[in-house]
Amino acid sequence: MSSPNRRRPRRDEEDEHPDERWMASYMDMVTVLMCMFIVLFAMSTVDQAKFEQLKASLATGFGQVETNTVDTAKGVVVPPAMVEAEEILDPDADLAMLAAMEVEDLTALRDRLQDGLEEKGMQDDVRFEIDERGLTIRLVSSEMFFEPDLAALTGEALDVLDVIGPVLQPTKYELSVEGHTAQVRQYTDSALDWELSTARSVNVLRYLMEPGGIDYSRIKAVGFGESRPLTAGTSAAELAQNRRVDIVVLSGQSEAVRQLMPAVVAGEIVFPEPDTDAAPEDKGDEEVLPASNH
């Protein structure tokens, strides 16, 4: 049973305080709209100076330059007329210069070897060649450096290596000792010509390492047998040229540089020498002081 003191709310009190929660969402929306219009207004104001800097910078990046203003800090391209000539690098000229320098170093090394051989009267026993591999020191004729069909070094071979070793030891070049034969023949019951050529190159390598002092990490021995003859003839003189041991001073330059070295050797690539005959600069009239009497 309901309490007699409880009364029901009147209709007019309910209408006096309606629900106002929708106002919070409305105020948030108005705030967002206000921020958006502020941003749009800020974007509509263009700084002409900054716009020109941006335009010049974009022109620099895409290679379309319409200004002569030199201002690298702002990304403006420097006109070609104002670029120093020495700052323009030619890749081909750089490679040719490196090839010329390498040939010059190898030529100086060859001259030192020739001078040492001439002192002992053995300059005719060794031949030299500079190509894309480097400097080849060619020990030609097995009768001079090896006994027929044997790999042991002769006394003449040791004398030549005594000159070659001390010259090559202080250099930084890597060395390849390569043995060659003239034809297939056996010096034991089962060994072929490539074994003979390898044994000869190994004996040369050992002598360059042990008495010569060349580090083992810089040198290797290779046997080619008769696969790489110098001449295709069969005469005694031509066969003697094919029976040889080559000591190759390997160039450490890149493949592109080494390919240009034969052209430098042949004189097809020439660089002008500096003008040393130019007259000294006129320093004008200089005051000559009298010598003091001491």
CA distance 6 to 29: 44
> Same domain, yes or no, for 121 and 44?
no
In a domain, 159, yes or no: yes
> Same domain, yes or no, for 252 and 201?
yes
The predicted pLDDT at position 255 comes to 95
Q: Is the pLDDT of residue 287 over 50?
A: no
pLDDT confidence band for 294 (50 / 70 / 90)? very low
In a domain, 116, yes or no: yes
The predicted pLDDT at position 16 comes to 57
Higher pLDDT, 210 or 283: 210
* Domain boundaries, position 51: 25-79
The predicted pLDDT at position 276 comes to 54
Q: What is the DSSP letter of 75?
A: T
CA distance 199 to 223: 8
Average pLDDT for 107-135: 93
Q: Which amino acid, 19?
A: D
For residues 98 and 253, the answer to whether their CB atoms sit within 8 Å is yes
> Same domain, yes or no, for 69 and 134?
no
Q: Is the pLDDT of residue 124 over 50?
A: yes
> Same domain, yes or no, for 51 and 157?
no
Backbone angles phi, psi at 211, to 5 degrees: -75, -30
Domain boundary residue among 16, 47, 79? 79
> Same domain, yes or no, for 138 and 183?
yes
> Same domain, yes or no, for 112 and 257?
yes
Over residues 35-84, the pLDDT tens digits come to 888 877 777 766 677 767 767 776 665 555 555 554 444 444 445 554 45
Q: Which of 25, 253, 245, 41 is nearest to 146 (CA)?
A: 245
> Same domain, yes or no, for 110 and 175?
yes
Over residues 180-205, the pLDDT tens digits come to 887 655 555 555 788 888 999 999 99
Tokens for 268? 């097809």
Over residues 136-185, the pLDDT tens digits come to 999 876 567 877 778 888 888 999 999 999 999 999 999 999 998 876 55
CA distance 283 to 25: 90
In a domain, 175, yes or no: yes
* DSSP helix/strand/coil, 34: helix
The predicted pLDDT at position 58 comes to 65
pTM beyond 0.75: the answer is: no
Contacts of 110 (CB under 8 A, 6+ apart): 128, 130, 135
In a domain, 291, yes or no: no
* DSSP labels, 191-244: --HHHHHHHHHHHHHHHHHTTT---GGGEEEEE-TTSS-S----SHHHHHHHSE
> For position 241, which CATH number holds?
3.30.1330.60
pLDDT confidence band for 109 (50 / 70 / 90)? very high
> Same domain, yes or no, for 121 and 37?
no
In a domain, 248, yes or no: yes
CA distance 132 to 104: 13
Over residues 86-100, the pLDDT tens digits come to 444 466 788 999 999
The predicted pLDDT at position 239 comes to 75
> Same domain, yes or no, for 63 and 99?
no
The domain total for the chain is: 2
In a domain, 20, yes or no: no
> Same domain, yes or no, for 128 and 239?
yes
> Same domain, yes or no, for 61 and 183?
no
In a domain, 36, yes or no: yes
In a domain, 31, yes or no: yes
CA distance 53 to 69: 11
Q: Which of 230, 247, 266 is nearest to 133 (CA)?
A: 247
